[in-house]
Amino acid sequence: MIRVANLTMQLRGGGRVVSILKDVSFVVPRGQRVAIVGPSGSGKSTLLGLLAGLDTPTAGSIQVNGQDITAWPEARLAQFRREHIGYIFQSFHLIPTLTALDNVALPLELSGAASAQARAGDLLDAVGLRERRGHYPAQLSGGEQQRVAVARAFVCRPRLLLADEPTGNLDSATGRRVIDLLLDLHREHGSTFVLVTHDATLAGQTERVITLHDGMIESDRLRES
């Protein structure tokens, strides 16, 4: 599902170059659950954003679902994300002027799907928010907002699900409920699932853990059955 080869990301500013990722390579098979872990500043979120086509690497290549997305223009990347990728942000990134239902339906509506509202309603039911469909983000708790974000990520039935610290802004009990929800939806939809996390409990429920340190892969291990 993912093939990353010799990926390098550098930022230039103030007359110097900062290396965020350094010659990173790995392959993720379809359907696998992968946690990317490591200390703050190791390049985890940068790597996830590159996999989603939210930024362009300095060097190297990224293939997703058999297509090299490395140098695509933004318009083509945006369409590809709508059709193939679900992305969950740590800070939810819901549109404050839209209800929970409309936030979830939006990706499908942008794709022209006639069943957007019905599909969004089904997913809000699945994440336990049937009674909150008409509420705006400011009227929802942090855990409820993240459940809306999870529903939105799955609304287009993505082949690839990416999550950046999906429990980072939640208390431990709410975080555990979101973890269970994510894993249940992952199993139901059969998506490939790659997440960035500091949460040892969440990382422990994946099949594979890639550890980054100073922008490089320090270890890449499969969990024992």
Domain of 33, CATH number, reads 3.40.50.300
The mean per-residue pLDDT over the stretch 23-50 comes to 94
What is the pLDDT, as a whole number, of residue 110? 85
Confidence of residue 144 (pLDDT cuts 50, 70, 90): very high
Confidence of residue 195 (pLDDT cuts 50, 70, 90): very high
What is the pLDDT, as a whole number, of residue 224? 66
How many angstroms separate the CA atoms of 153 and 44, rounded? Answer: 20
**Count of domains for the chain:** 1
What is the pLDDT, as a whole number, of residue 32? 94
Sign of the dihedral through C-alpha 61, 62, 63, 68: negative
At residue 225, does pLDDT exceed 60?
Answer: no
Confidence of residue 1 (pLDDT cuts 50, 70, 90): very high
Nearest C-alpha neighbor of 92 from the set 13, 145, 17: 145
What single-letter DSSP state applies at residue 121? H
Confidence of residue 145 (pLDDT cuts 50, 70, 90): very high
Per the structure, the complete domain to which residue 131 belongs is given by 2-222
